[in-house]
Amino acid sequence: MQFCCWENPQFSHAVLYELLWQIAFGYTYELRPPLDLLLHVLCMEDSWQTHRIHKALKGIPDDHSSRDGLFETIHRSKNHYQKRAYQCIKMLVALFSQCSLARSMLEGAGDLKRKWTWAVEWLHDELERGGGHRAPYASTAGSNETANGFFLERSHSARLTLEKACELMPDEDGDPPGGSEEGGGEGDDSSGGSARKQEGVGGQRTLQRQGGNGGMSPTQQNKQRMRRREEEERRDSGHNE
Protein backbone atom coordinates (compact mmCIF):
# COMPACT_ATOMS: atom_id res chain seq x y z
CA MET A 1 0.00 0.00 0.00
CA GLN A 2 2.78 2.43 0.91
CA PHE A 3 4.64 1.55 -2.28
CA CYS A 4 1.56 2.38 -4.36
CA CYS A 5 0.95 5.66 -2.47
CA TRP A 6 4.54 6.86 -2.83
CA GLU A 7 4.60 10.04 -4.96
CA ASN A 8 1.18 9.10 -6.31
CA PRO A 9 -1.47 11.70 -5.39
CA GLN A 10 -4.31 9.92 -7.23
CA PHE A 11 -3.77 6.60 -5.47
CA SER A 12 -3.18 8.35 -2.14
CA HIS A 13 -6.49 10.18 -2.56
CA ALA A 14 -8.31 6.93 -3.28
CA VAL A 15 -6.77 5.22 -0.24
CA LEU A 16 -7.63 8.10 2.09
CA TYR A 17 -11.15 8.29 0.63
CA GLU A 18 -11.79 4.65 1.50
CA LEU A 19 -10.03 4.62 4.88
CA LEU A 20 -11.83 7.72 6.17
CA TRP A 21 -15.16 6.10 5.24
CA GLN A 22 -14.28 2.88 7.10
CA ILE A 23 -13.16 4.84 10.17
CA ALA A 24 -16.33 6.95 10.18
CA PHE A 25 -18.84 4.13 9.68
CA GLY A 26 -17.19 0.79 10.42
CA TYR A 27 -17.86 -1.25 13.55
CA THR A 28 -15.87 0.12 16.47
CA TYR A 29 -14.22 -3.25 17.16
CA GLU A 30 -12.98 -3.38 13.56
CA LEU A 31 -11.33 0.06 13.39
CA ARG A 32 -7.81 -0.93 14.39
CA PRO A 33 -6.67 -2.19 10.93
CA PRO A 34 -7.82 0.89 8.95
CA LEU A 35 -6.44 3.24 11.61
CA ASP A 36 -3.08 1.46 11.60
CA LEU A 37 -2.98 1.58 7.82
CA LEU A 38 -3.87 5.27 7.82
CA LEU A 39 -1.07 5.99 10.30
CA HIS A 40 1.51 4.27 8.10
CA VAL A 41 0.31 6.11 5.00
CA LEU A 42 0.41 9.50 6.75
CA CYS A 43 3.89 8.93 8.16
CA MET A 44 5.29 8.15 4.71
CA GLU A 45 7.70 10.94 3.78
CA ASP A 46 7.37 12.11 0.19
CA SER A 47 6.39 15.35 -1.53
CA TRP A 48 2.66 14.64 -0.99
CA GLN A 49 2.82 13.95 2.74
CA THR A 50 1.44 17.36 3.71
CA HIS A 51 -1.56 16.89 1.41
CA ARG A 52 -2.33 13.47 2.86
CA ILE A 53 -2.17 14.71 6.45
CA HIS A 54 -4.33 17.72 5.59
CA LYS A 55 -7.01 15.52 4.02
CA ALA A 56 -6.97 13.06 6.93
CA LEU A 57 -7.37 15.80 9.54
CA LYS A 58 -9.80 18.10 7.72
CA GLY A 59 -11.63 15.72 5.41
CA ILE A 60 -12.12 15.41 1.67
CA PRO A 61 -14.79 17.65 0.10
CA ASP A 62 -16.68 16.15 -2.79
CA ASP A 63 -19.75 17.17 -4.77
CA HIS A 64 -21.35 13.73 -4.46
CA SER A 65 -19.85 11.97 -1.43
CA SER A 66 -17.48 13.88 0.83
CA ARG A 67 -15.42 12.29 3.59
CA ASP A 68 -15.22 13.57 7.15
CA GLY A 69 -11.77 14.21 8.58
CA LEU A 70 -10.68 12.60 11.83
CA PHE A 71 -11.61 15.62 13.95
CA GLU A 72 -15.11 15.72 12.48
CA THR A 73 -15.49 11.98 13.12
CA ILE A 74 -14.42 12.50 16.74
CA HIS A 75 -16.95 15.30 17.19
CA ARG A 76 -19.77 13.33 15.55
CA SER A 77 -19.05 10.20 17.62
CA LYS A 78 -18.61 11.81 21.05
CA ASN A 79 -22.09 10.99 22.35
CA HIS A 80 -23.12 7.59 20.98
CA TYR A 81 -19.93 6.05 19.58
CA GLN A 82 -17.34 7.03 22.16
CA LYS A 83 -15.01 4.15 21.37
CA ARG A 84 -14.78 5.38 17.78
CA ALA A 85 -13.84 8.87 18.97
CA TYR A 86 -11.32 7.42 21.42
CA GLN A 87 -9.61 5.28 18.79
CA CYS A 88 -9.30 8.29 16.47
CA ILE A 89 -7.70 10.29 19.30
CA LYS A 90 -5.31 7.44 20.06
CA MET A 91 -4.29 7.29 16.40
CA LEU A 92 -3.71 11.06 16.36
CA VAL A 93 -1.54 10.76 19.46
CA ALA A 94 0.63 8.28 17.59
CA LEU A 95 0.68 10.49 14.48
CA PHE A 96 1.68 13.68 16.30
CA SER A 97 4.30 11.75 18.31
CA GLN A 98 5.91 9.98 15.37
CA CYS A 99 5.54 12.52 12.55
CA SER A 100 7.25 15.89 13.03
CA LEU A 101 5.45 17.33 10.00
CA ALA A 102 2.02 16.51 11.45
CA ARG A 103 3.09 18.02 14.79
CA SER A 104 4.20 21.21 13.01
CA MET A 105 0.88 21.40 11.18
CA LEU A 106 -0.96 21.05 14.49
CA GLU A 107 1.05 23.78 16.16
CA GLY A 108 0.85 26.11 13.16
CA ALA A 109 -2.90 26.04 12.51
CA GLY A 110 -5.25 27.71 14.97
CA ASP A 111 -8.29 25.67 13.95
CA LEU A 112 -6.43 22.38 14.43
CA LYS A 113 -5.18 23.55 17.83
CA ARG A 114 -8.72 24.28 18.99
CA LYS A 115 -10.07 20.97 17.67
CA TRP A 116 -7.25 19.00 19.32
CA THR A 117 -7.68 20.85 22.62
CA TRP A 118 -11.41 20.14 22.55
CA ALA A 119 -10.83 16.45 21.74
CA VAL A 120 -8.35 16.03 24.62
CA GLU A 121 -10.63 17.81 27.08
CA TRP A 122 -13.57 15.65 25.96
CA LEU A 123 -11.52 12.50 26.56
CA HIS A 124 -10.45 13.80 29.96
CA ASP A 125 -14.03 14.59 30.97
CA GLU A 126 -15.34 11.20 29.81
CA LEU A 127 -12.67 9.22 31.64
CA GLU A 128 -13.04 11.29 34.82
CA ARG A 129 -16.83 11.27 34.88
CA GLY A 130 -18.05 9.22 37.81
CA GLY A 131 -21.12 7.10 38.32
CA GLY A 132 -23.23 5.25 35.79
CA HIS A 133 -21.28 2.74 33.76
CA ARG A 134 -17.89 4.11 34.84
CA ALA A 135 -15.53 2.03 36.94
CA PRO A 136 -12.12 2.85 38.48
CA TYR A 137 -9.07 2.61 36.25
CA ALA A 138 -8.07 -1.04 36.10
CA SER A 139 -5.96 -3.34 33.99
CA THR A 140 -8.93 -5.72 33.85
CA ALA A 141 -11.22 -3.17 32.17
CA GLY A 142 -12.52 -4.08 28.74
CA SER A 143 -10.68 -2.93 25.65
CA ASN A 144 -11.81 0.20 23.86
CA GLU A 145 -10.52 -1.24 20.59
CA THR A 146 -11.72 -4.83 20.43
CA ALA A 147 -14.65 -5.07 22.87
CA ASN A 148 -18.21 -4.45 21.78
CA GLY A 149 -20.23 -1.57 23.15
CA PHE A 150 -20.41 2.18 22.72
CA PHE A 151 -19.11 3.78 25.92
CA LEU A 152 -15.52 4.18 27.01
CA GLU A 153 -13.85 1.74 29.36
CA ARG A 154 -11.57 3.28 32.00
CA SER A 155 -8.66 1.08 31.04
CA HIS A 156 -4.99 1.62 31.78
CA SER A 157 -4.40 2.09 28.06
CA ALA A 158 -7.00 4.88 27.94
CA ARG A 159 -5.28 6.63 30.82
CA LEU A 160 -1.90 6.45 29.07
CA THR A 161 -3.47 7.77 25.87
CA LEU A 162 -4.91 10.73 27.77
CA GLU A 163 -1.56 11.50 29.38
CA LYS A 164 0.23 11.47 26.01
CA ALA A 165 -2.53 13.56 24.44
CA CYS A 166 -2.16 16.19 27.18
CA GLU A 167 1.57 16.36 26.55
CA LEU A 168 0.89 17.04 22.86
CA MET A 169 -1.53 19.89 23.51
CA PRO A 170 -0.02 23.07 22.01
CA ASP A 171 0.12 26.21 24.12
CA GLU A 172 -2.58 28.52 22.82
CA ASP A 173 -0.92 31.51 24.46
CA GLY A 174 1.56 31.60 21.59
CA ASP A 175 -1.07 32.24 18.91
CA PRO A 176 -0.63 35.54 17.08
CA PRO A 177 -3.37 38.10 17.80
CA GLY A 178 -4.57 38.11 14.18
CA GLY A 179 -4.70 34.31 13.99
CA SER A 180 -3.30 34.16 10.43
CA GLU A 181 0.17 34.64 9.06
CA GLU A 182 -1.24 35.92 5.78
CA GLY A 183 -2.57 39.09 7.36
CA GLY A 184 -4.98 41.24 5.44
CA GLY A 185 -6.03 44.75 6.28
CA GLU A 186 -6.52 46.11 9.75
CA GLY A 187 -10.28 45.63 9.47
CA ASP A 188 -9.88 41.89 8.80
CA ASP A 189 -7.54 41.50 11.77
CA SER A 190 -9.88 43.30 14.15
CA SER A 191 -13.02 41.39 13.14
CA GLY A 192 -11.32 37.97 13.01
CA GLY A 193 -9.35 38.67 16.17
CA SER A 194 -12.43 39.68 18.17
CA ALA A 195 -14.27 36.49 17.15
CA ARG A 196 -11.28 34.37 18.08
CA LYS A 197 -10.91 36.20 21.40
CA GLN A 198 -14.52 35.42 22.22
CA GLU A 199 -13.86 31.75 21.43
CA GLY A 200 -10.79 31.82 23.64
CA VAL A 201 -12.70 33.41 26.50
CA GLY A 202 -15.37 30.69 26.26
CA GLY A 203 -12.72 27.97 26.31
CA GLN A 204 -11.00 29.51 29.33
CA ARG A 205 -14.31 29.68 31.20
CA THR A 206 -14.73 25.95 30.69
CA LEU A 207 -11.26 25.29 32.06
CA GLN A 208 -11.83 27.65 34.97
CA ARG A 209 -14.93 25.69 35.94
CA GLN A 210 -12.89 22.50 35.91
CA GLY A 211 -9.68 23.61 37.55
CA GLY A 212 -10.04 27.25 38.56
CA ASN A 213 -6.69 28.17 36.97
CA GLY A 214 -7.71 30.73 34.39
CA GLY A 215 -4.16 32.10 34.02
CA MET A 216 -2.67 28.80 32.93
CA SER A 217 -2.54 27.36 29.43
CA PRO A 218 -4.72 24.32 28.58
CA THR A 219 -1.61 22.14 28.53
CA GLN A 220 -0.54 23.23 32.01
CA GLN A 221 -4.04 22.85 33.43
CA ASN A 222 -4.47 19.31 32.08
CA LYS A 223 -1.06 18.26 33.37
CA GLN A 224 -1.87 19.74 36.79
CA ARG A 225 -5.17 17.84 36.90
CA MET A 226 -3.32 14.67 35.90
CA ARG A 227 -0.79 15.08 38.74
CA ARG A 228 -3.55 15.74 41.27
CA ARG A 229 -5.42 12.61 40.19
CA GLU A 230 -2.28 10.46 40.40
CA GLU A 231 -1.58 11.76 43.91
CA GLU A 232 -5.14 10.96 44.98
CA GLU A 233 -4.93 7.45 43.53
CA ARG A 234 -1.61 6.83 45.31
CA ARG A 235 -3.15 7.97 48.61
CA ASP A 236 -6.18 5.74 48.06
CA SER A 237 -4.01 2.72 47.25
CA GLY A 238 -1.96 3.37 50.38
CA HIS A 239 -5.08 3.40 52.54
CA ASN A 240 -6.31 0.16 50.97
CA GLU A 241 -3.03 -1.56 51.73
Average pLDDT score over residue span 227-232: 65
Q: Indicate whether 10 pLDDT > 80.
A: yes
The tens digit of pLDDT for each residue in 190-207 reads 444 444 434 443 444 344
**What's the pLDDT at 50?**
96
3-state secondary structure 43-57: CCCCCCHHHHHHHHH
**189-199 burial, b if ≥16 CB within 10 A, otherwise e?**
beebeeebeee
More confident residue, 182 or 66: 66
Mean pLDDT estimate for the chain: 78
Q: In one letter, which amino acid is 107?
A: E
What per-residue confidence (pLDDT) applies to 230?
A: 61
Q: Summarize the confidence of residues 97-101 as an average pLDDT.
A: 96
**How much of the chain is helix, strand and coil, in % rounded to 5?**
65, 0, 30
Q: What is the pTM of this model?
A: 0.71
- 226 burial (CB, 10 Å; 0-12 / 13-18 / 19+) is middle
pLDDT tens-digit series, residues 116-131: 999 999 999 999 874 4
All structural domains of the chain with their residue ranges: 2-173+216-233
Lowest mean pLDDT among 28-32, 156-160, 205-209, 215-219: 205-209
Q: Which of 39-43, 140-144, 156-160, 222-226 has the highest mean pLDDT?
A: 39-43
Instruction: Identify the CA nearest to 19 among candidates 53, 65, 67.
Output: 67
Q: How confident is the model at residue 51 (pLDDT cuts 50, 70, 90)?
A: very high
- Do 218 and 169 form a contact (C-beta atoms < 8 A)? yes
The pLDDT of 28-46, averaged and rounded, is 96
pLDDT tens column, 81-94: 999 999 999 999 99
Q: How many CA atoms lie within 13 A of 135 on its CB side?
A: 10
pLDDT for res 239: 57
